């Protein structure tokens, strides 16, 4: 077959979107990028967003950032990188079934945690406390800051210059005060409108991923036990079934089988409950679903309650476990100590961070200086933050 007779199997702008549901996000209806760029040749716009995210430095650093377990505690636990891949996997699977835009869902899922500090929520709380007088720190806003301002990879613009829809999906929540300062991206919070269904989906996929992998990692670490999880209906139900079908199965395989089924049960519920809500919407377009009072992508009432019970259990038994609290306290002290030392003496920062500090300080004085230090710390991985702490504070550590 000659080249000109070769059927076009690849990407054709517009063609792939014919398969989408009427309420899915479409590139043709995109509000575009902040800096105008020519259309990509062999990819869609949301695919290009996804690719830029995957190639970013912040994305690579997710490998050494964690949520509950600090990176050096073991190679078996999830990192933010593997978590983000799980979110993208769940998101894409559901998007395909519902006729939503898979590429946009994937881009949002892969970018949603880019702004996280080292040491998970303990790190974020500590940095937020340090930034109290300078506008605070919020990982969600930081993710947006990473893709809009902090990545330096392109000749023509600062940041990744993602489409409006990817950026909107990254900014899950936002206070009214902050929304006012955000321009077009803040509009929906002020008008109390929903984001795209793809953004709603990435949000629920995030929850499914972390709740279930925290059960898995929690059991593996020994911080929580099967007996405790028995009070959680979504676990109990699947555990009983697995035990009945495979009575002699090892504990490890039983756990994996149960977690696998829990994810499947939640994803199935999410698809079915969302479908029911979307039937009501009918052939409405993406703009119409944004006017709904509540997000349309979500669990049934029954599964929402079960999910709540699972979250409640994890909050009290895993995230508040004394060993996790000790690590969180240490993490908080590391973040605070680094913040104080750099804010008080910028010359202790590496040259590149000093340059950024000067640029921000010119714009915003003390707040600019604090924001530059916050950017530097937020960008650290767990292990980099620990090393930096040693380099700065250990008398026996050279430089």
Instruction: Report the interface residues with Mg ion, using CB under 5 A.
Output: 113, 206
Q: How far is the CB of 83 from Mg ion (least distance, A)?
A: 6
Q: Which of residues 112 and 371 has its CB atom nearest to Mg ion in the complex?
A: 112
Dig out the tokens for 143 from the structure. 């993710």
Q: How far is the CB of 395 from Mg ion (least distance, A)?
A: 38
Q: Which of residues 113 and 257 has its CB atom nearest to Mg ion in the complex?
A: 113
Backbone angles phi, psi at 304, to 5 degrees: -60, -40
Tally the C-alpha atoms within 13 A of residue 130's C-alpha that lie toward its C-beta: 31
Dig out the tokens for 82 from the structure. 């593997």
Q: How far is the CB of 206 from Mg ion (least distance, A)?
A: 4
Q: How far is the CB of 275 from Mg ion (least distance, A)?
A: 24
Q: Which of residues 162 and 209 has its CB atom nearest to Mg ion in the complex?
A: 209
Q: How far is the CB of 116 from Mg ion (least distance, A)?
A: 8
Q: How far is the CB of 121 from Mg ion (least distance, A)?
A: 11
Q: Which of residues 45 and 113 has its CB atom nearest to Mg ion in the complex?
A: 113
Q: Which of residues 49 and 113 has its CB atom nearest to Mg ion in the complex?
A: 113
Q: Which of residues 86 and 257 has its CB atom nearest to Mg ion in the complex?
A: 86
Return all residues near 349 (Cβ < 8 A) that are at least 6 apart: 342, 357, 373, 376
């Amino acid at each position: 077959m000659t080249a000109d007779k070769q059927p076009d199997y690849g990407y054709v702008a517009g063609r792939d979107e014919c398969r989408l549901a009427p309420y899915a996000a479409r590139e043709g209806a995109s509000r575009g990028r902040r800096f105008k760029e020519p259309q990509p040749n062999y990819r869609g716009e949301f695919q290009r967003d996804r690719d830029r995210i995957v190639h970013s430095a912040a994305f690579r650093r997710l490998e050494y950032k964690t949520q509950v377990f600090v990176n050096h505690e073991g190679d078996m636990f999830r990192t933010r990188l593997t978590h983000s891949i799980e979110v993208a996997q769940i998101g894409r699977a559901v998007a395909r079934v519902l006729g939503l835009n898979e590429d946009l869902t994937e881009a949002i899922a892969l970018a949603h945690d880019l702004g996280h500090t080292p040491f998970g929520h303990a790190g974020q709380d500590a940095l937020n406390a340090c930034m109290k007088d300078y506008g605070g720190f919020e990982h969600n806003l930081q993710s947006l800051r990473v893709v809009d301002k902090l990545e330096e990879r392109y000749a023509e613009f600062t940041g990744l210059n993602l489409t409006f829809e990817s950026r909107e999906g990254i900014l899950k929540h936002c206070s009214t005060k902050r929304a006012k300062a955000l321009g077009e991206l803040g509009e929906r919070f002020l008008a109390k409108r929903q984001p795209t269904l793809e953004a709603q989906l990435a949000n629920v996929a995030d929850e499914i991923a972390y709740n279930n992998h925290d059960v898995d990692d929690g059991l593996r670490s020994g911080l929580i036990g099967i007996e405790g999880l028995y009070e959680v209906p979504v676990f109990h139900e699947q555990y009983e079934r697995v035990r009945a079908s495979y009575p002699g199965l090892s504990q490890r395989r039983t756990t994996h089988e149960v977690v696998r089924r829990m994810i499947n049960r939640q994803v199935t519920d999410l698809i079915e409950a969302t479908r029911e809500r979307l039937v009501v919407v009918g052939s409405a377009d993406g703009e119409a679903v944004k006017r709904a009072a509540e997000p349309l992508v979500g669990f049934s009432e029954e599964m929402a309650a079960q999910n709540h019970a699972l979250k409640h259990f994890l909050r009290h038994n895993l995230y508040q476990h004394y060993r996790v609290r000790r690590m969180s306290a240490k993490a908080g002290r590391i973040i605070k100590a680094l913040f104080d030392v750099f804010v008080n003496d910028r010359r202790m920062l590496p040259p590149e961070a000093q340059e950024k500090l000067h640029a921000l300080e010119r714009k915003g004085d003390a707040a600019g200086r604090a924001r530059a230090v916050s950017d530097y710390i937020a960008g650290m991985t767990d292990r980099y933050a620990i090393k930096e702490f040693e380099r700065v504070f250990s008398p026996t550590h050279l430089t």
